[in-house]
Amino acid sequence: MPLFLIRHAIAGVRNNLDPSDEQRPLDRVGRRQAQAIADTWTETGIEAIYSSPALRCVQTVEPLAERLQIPVLIAPELFEGASTSRSIEYVRSFTGRSVALCSHGDVIPDVLRNLEVGGSQLQGRGCAKGSVWLLDNSTDRIETGIYQPALVHVDGTSPNSS
């Protein structure tokens, strides 16, 4: 069973006046990344989508949710700054289910480090905005994971464009 651990797509500039940074939306390139995620992962059997409460995370998985005709469920365990133990416990709670989880650049690397320490074999490195980690959650140990880079680059180009 694949668990899709998605880093939110590119968002607008962080507002230093809003310390929670919860309402920052995706920018133009981020919206293209979100669409590319939907284009790529719609036919993979995803049965549920969970997102950090941050608007940029919700917007990243909305196109996928719309195509699958399922709601985006909010999960505080995926929010920026969440405790690693709480986040990893949450990720492991989906054993045997094909789900997509959208989170942040601090949470995802912490979860991945914890998995590696526990013996998971991870192929690839990275946590770029708009990227996806495919984790085999057939067991709660999560044996393997494969990194899938973002399908739309920061400059708005795709890997196949010339």
Indicate if the pLDDT at residue 162 is higher than 50: no
Q: In what order do the strands lie in the sheet with 72-74?
A: 72-74, 48-51, 99-103, 2-7, 132-136, 144-148, 121-123
Which domains does the chain carry? 2-13+22-148 (3.40.50.1240)
Say whether 22 sits in a helix, a strand or coil: coil
Interval 100-154: pLDDT, tens: 999 999 999 999 999 999 999 999 999 999 999 999 999 878 999 999 999 887 7
* pLDDT for the residue 23: 86
Q: What is the pTM of this model?
A: 0.93
Say whether 73 sits in a helix, a strand or coil: strand
* pLDDT for the residue 21: 73
Mean pLDDT of 41-68: 97
Q: How many helices (H) and strands (E) does the chain have?
A: 4, 7
